[in-house]
C-alpha cells in the first residue's frame, strides 16, 4: 500500500519505518527542510533502539522517503496518517493546532478519495474536528472529494517502540463506516499473522482507549509510590510488598515498581489532557487528579532524602547524578525526574556532575552551559570529588557498579537511589548510607 505520514517525530518516524519494513511504500512529510535533509543523510533526530538501521535500510531500498512537498505526498497515497505533536496548553489540554493544520493541508491537496487516519494522541472528539476542518476547507475551495476519518492510536513504549510496532499487543482502529475496513486490515495484515490483533470500534472509543491505557499505567505507578511512602512511615519494605501483590495474577508485576516518578512525552501529558477532557464534559475526576498529584510529589522525594542527610543547607556541595533520561533506552528528558532534582539542587546552591548513556546532548540542549552543571563521559567520572551519588534512571550499566570505587570517590559514602537498584542490607554492609524509595532509609546525617 502507499501511505503518507505527516510528522517525523517519535510516532511518525517509527510508524513510517516499520510500515516500510514490511513492504508498504511510505512517504513522511515535515515542514522542516533541515530535519528532512538530516534524516535523508542518515542523521536520525531521536534515539530509539533499532530505529536508525530500519530507517536507513528502507531509505536505501526505496520503500521510505521524506519530503516537505505536502501536495505531492497527499497525491501519492490513499491512506494519510496524521502523526504530528499535540503539546499541552497551559491548562493541560491538548493543543490541536498542528493536527487541524495538517487536516486543512490534506483537504486542499487531495483530488481523489482519501482515508485520513489519526495517529497522534488526541482528545475524544478530535476526529470530528478533523472531519469538520476538511469539509470546511473543501467548501472554501469548491471541492467535493470523498474522504473518511479513522482513529488509530499508537501504543509504543519508548525504548521498545520498534518491537512494539512489529509485534503489537493490539491494533486499535476507530471507524464510522465499514467501507474502509478492508483498507486498514490490509495495512496491518503483515503484523497480524500469528493471531487477530486488530480491534475495530467506534472512533470516540478508540480515542478514549489511548488515554485510558496510559492513565491506567500511570495509576499503577502512582499507587506504588504512595505505598512506598507509606512503607517508610510504617517500617515496611516496598520491595517485599511488590513481590507479595505482584504474584496475584489479577495485579501482575508490570508497572508496580516504585521510583522517583514517571515522566516522558506520554503519561504526564495524557493524564493532564484526560483531566481537562473530563472537566469539559462536566465530570469531576478525583482519581486522575490524585495520580498527577502523587507523581508531582514523588519527583521531589530524592531532594527530600538529600536534605534529610545533609540538613537543609546543601550550598556548595556537588552531587554525582547517574541518569538523565526519564527512562532507559531513550534520550527523552521531557518531564524527567532528573530535571526536577537538578533544578532543586541548583536553587539550593549545589552543583551537579551528570552522566547518561544517551541523554547528554539533550541535556546540553535544554540547559546549555552553566557553572553548576558538568556533563561527563562516564559514570565513574561523575563521581570525582562529589559529595554523594544520586540515581535517577535505571540504565542497565548502573546495576552492578564497583562499590569500592564509589566509596573512594565520594566525600561521603551516601547513595540516593530513585530506582531501587540495590539491596539495603548489602549497601549497609559495605558502609554506605543508602536511601531508596520505600525500603527504609538511613537516618544518619552527614557529620
Model confidence pTM above 0.75:
yes
What is the 3-state composition of the chain as percent helix, strand, coil, each rounded to the nearest 5? 45, 15, 40
At residue 147's C-alpha, the angle toward residues 143 and 149, to 5°, is 135
Closest CA relative to residue 154, chosen from 139, 166, 138: 166
Strand partners, 80: 4, 116
Could you report the per-residue pLDDT of 205-256, keeping only the tens digit for each?
Answer: 999 999 999 999 999 999 999 999 999 999 999 999 999 999 999 999 999 9
Decide if 69 contacts 77 (C-beta within 8 A).
Answer: no
Instruction: Pick out the chain residues at pLDDT < 70.
Output: 441-447
| Whether 266 is catalytic | yes
Query: Do 306 and 390 contact (CB within 8 A), yes or no?
Result: yes
CA dist 141 and 134 (Å) reads 11
Q: From the candidates 18, 28, 215, 266, which is the catalytic residue?
A: 266
CA–CA gap between residue 40 and residue 29 (Å, rounded): 12
* Whether 116 contacts 149, CB under 8 Å: yes
Give pLDDT, residue 423: 96
The three-class DSSP label of residue 419 is coil
Residue 138: burial class (beta carbons within 10 Å; 0-12, 13-18, 19+): middle
Distances (CA, A) of 303 to 186, 314, 333, 382, 391: 52, 10, 18, 18, 12
Cell of 423: 539491596
Q: How many CB atoms sit inside 10 A of residue 24's CB?
A: 20
Please state, in angstroms and as integers, the Cα–Cα distance from residue 183 to each residue in 23, 110, 115, 189, following that order.
15, 18, 9, 10
Sign for the CA dihedral angle at 156, 157, 158, 161 comes to negative
| DSSP string covering 331-391 | ---TT-HHHHHHHHHHHTT-EEEEE-SS-HHHHHHHH-S-TTEEE-SSHHHHHTT-SEEEE
Model pLDDT, residue 441 = 60
* CA torsion angle 229 160 152 81 (round to 10): 130
pLDDT number for residue 265: 86
Residue 391 forms beta bridges with which residues?
A: 322, 417
Q: What is the DSSP string of 188-219?
A: HGGG-SSS--EEEE-HHHHHHHHHHHHHHHHH
Judging by beta carbons within 10 Å of its beta carbon (0-12, 13-18, 19+), is residue 393 exposed, middle or buried?
A: buried
Query: Burial letters for 25-40: b for 16+ Cβ neighbours within 10 Å, e otherwise?
Result: bbbbbbbeeebbeebe
| Rounded CA separation 241/140 (Å) | 62
Whole-number pLDDT of residue 444: 46
Q: Characterize 326-354 residue by residue with b for buried, 16 or more Cβ atoms within 10 angstroms of its Cβ, and e for exposed.
A: bbbbbbbbbbbbbbbbbebbbebebbbbb
Amino acid at each position: 500500500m502507499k501511505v503518507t505520514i505527516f510528522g517525523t517525530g517519535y510516532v511518525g518516524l517509527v510508524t513510517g519505518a516499520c510500515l516500510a519494513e514490511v513492504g508498504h511504500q511510505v512517504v513522511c512529510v515535515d515542514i522542516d527542510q533541515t530535519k528532512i535533509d538530516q534524516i535523508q543523510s542518515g542523521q536520525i533526530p531521536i534515539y530509539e533502539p533499532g530505529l536508525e538501521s530500519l530507517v536507513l535500510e528502507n531509505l536505501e531500498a526505496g520503500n521510505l522517503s521524506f519530503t516537505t512537498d505536502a501536495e505531492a505526498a497527499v497525491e501519492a497515497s490513499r491512506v494519510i496518517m496524521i502523526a504530528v505533536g499535540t503539546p499541552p496548553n497551559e491548562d493541560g489540554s491538548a493543543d490541536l493546532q498542528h493536527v487541524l493544520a495538517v487536516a486543512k493541508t490534506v483537504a486542499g491537496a487531495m483530488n481523489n478519495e482519501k482515508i485520513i487516519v489519526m495517529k497522534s494522541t488526541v482528545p475524544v472528539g478530535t476526529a470530528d474536528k478533523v472531519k469538520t476542518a476538511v469539509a470546511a476547507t473543501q467548501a472554501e475551495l469548491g471541492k467535493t472529494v470523498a474522504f473518511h476519518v479513522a482513529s488509530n492510536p499508537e501504543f509504543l513504549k519508548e525504548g521498545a517502540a520498534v518491537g512494539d510496532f512489529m509485534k503489537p499487543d493490539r491494533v486499535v482502529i476507530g471507524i464510522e463506516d465499514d467501507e474502509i475496513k478492508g483498507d486498514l486490515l490490509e495495512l496491518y495484515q503483515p503484523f497480524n499473522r500469528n493471531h487477530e490483533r486488530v480491534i475495530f470500534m467506534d472512533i470516540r472509543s478508540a480515542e478514549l482507549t489511548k488515554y485510558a491505557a496510559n492513565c491506567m499505567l500511570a495509576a499503577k505507578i502512582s499507587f506504588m509510590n504512595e505505598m512506598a511512602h507509606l512503607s517508610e512511615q510504617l517500617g515496611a519494605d516496598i520491595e517485599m510488598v511488590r513481590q507479595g501483590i505482584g504474584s496475584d495474577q489479577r495485579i501482575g508485576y508490570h508497572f508496580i515498581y516504585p521510583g522517583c516518578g514517571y515522566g516522558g512525552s506520554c503519561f504526564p501529558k495524557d493524564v493532564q489532557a484526560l483531566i481537562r477532557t473530563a472537566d469539559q464534559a462536566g465530570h469531576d475526576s478525583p482519581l486522575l487528579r490524585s495520580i498527577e498529584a502523587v507523581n508531582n510529589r514523588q519527583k521531589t522525594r530524592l531532594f527530600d532524602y538529600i536534605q534529610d542527610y545533609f540538613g537543609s543547607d546543601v550550598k556548595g556541595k556537588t552531587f554525582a547524578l547517574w541518569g538523565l533520561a526519564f527512562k532507559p533506552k531513550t534520550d527523552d528528558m521531557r518531564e524527567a525526574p532528573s530535571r526536577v532534582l537538578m533544578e532543586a539542587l541548583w536553587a539550593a546552591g549545589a552543583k551537579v556532575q551528570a552522566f547518561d548513556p544517551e541523554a547528554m546532548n539533550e541535556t546540553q540542549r535544554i540547559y546549555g552551559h552553566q557553572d553548576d552543571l558538568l556533563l561527563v563521559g562516564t559514570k565513574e567520572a561523575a563521581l570525582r570529588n562529589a559529595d554523594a551519588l544520586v540515581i535517577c534512571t535505571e540504565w542497565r550499566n548502573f546495576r552492578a557498579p564497583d562499590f569500592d570505587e564509589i566509596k573512594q570517590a565520594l566525600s561521603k559514602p551516601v547513595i540516593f537511589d530513585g530506582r531501587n537498584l540495590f539491596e539495603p542490607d548489602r549497601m549497609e554492609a559495605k558502609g554506605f548510607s543508602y536511601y531508596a524509595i520505600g525500603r527504609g532509609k538511613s537516618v544518619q546525617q552527614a557529620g
